[in-house]
Chain A
Amino acid sequence: SYVLIQPPSVSVAPGQTARITCGGPNIGSNSVHWYQQRPGRAPLLVMFDDGARPSGIPERFSVSNSGNTASLTISRAEAGDEADYYCQMWDSGSARRVFGGGTKLTVL
């Protein structure tokens, strides 16, 4: 089965740019979505595969996806961005959804 690889942790200084990667064979040919999960809370969809943002998500969040790597970029990082972030794709051959292992973003 398909496996998505994320770094366990990423650190960024306030105001700087954080990039969270999600790796998999030819992932650029698939739709990859991104979720934010704050401690004790349910996951929240923050970025669609095509770069669209759900209502309430700031423009500081953006995505890219090419080759073997998809990325979530958070510009001008804020303390409130601290959370776990998960990438997710759809195994279109079935209804299966696949998640990356998650990345803990620390803003310090």
Chain B
Amino acid sequence: QVQLVESGGGVVPPGRSLKLSCAASGFTFKISPMHWVRQAPGKGLEWVSFISYDGTAQHYGDSVRGRLSISRDNSKNRLYLQMDSLILEDTAVYYCVRDGVRGSLDLWGQGTLVTVTS
């Protein structure tokens, strides 16, 4: 079954860290560029980060650059998002997403909720 399953979300106070994980199955993960996209409660979609198929290139949105770090382990079919110095505005559902043709995002996980609260 082709799917992405996120885990690692939770409730954390501001300034703390959290690491999200995404397990990929049913497709060739090692050749697939990947993204993280987030959605704050009641808000729209916000692109967070991209990683190339081999992990050599990463890109970040302006609001997270320097605090969030994307990585992957192709031997485990896993994508990660290390979240440091969390702020209230990082509260959102975080989706693991596969890169598709011509810049599309063709496969989404179910999402994992991160709540930053004091």
Contact = CB atoms under 8 A, between A and B. Distances in A.
Interface in A28-77: 31, 33, 35, 37, 42-45, 48-50, 54
Nearest to A33: B104
Nearest to A100: B44
A88 B105 contact: yes
Contacts of B57: 95
Q: Name the interface size band of chain A.
A: 20 to 34
Contact of B95 (A43, A48, A90, A95): A43
Contacts of A95: 33, 50, 57, 59
Interface of A: 1, 31, 33, 35, 37, 42-45, 48-50, 54, 84, 86, 88-90, 92, 94-102
Nearest to B99: A95
Given A94-B59, A96-B59, A99-B45, A45 B105 contact: yes
Nearest to A30: B103
Nearest to A84: B44
A45 B95 contact: no
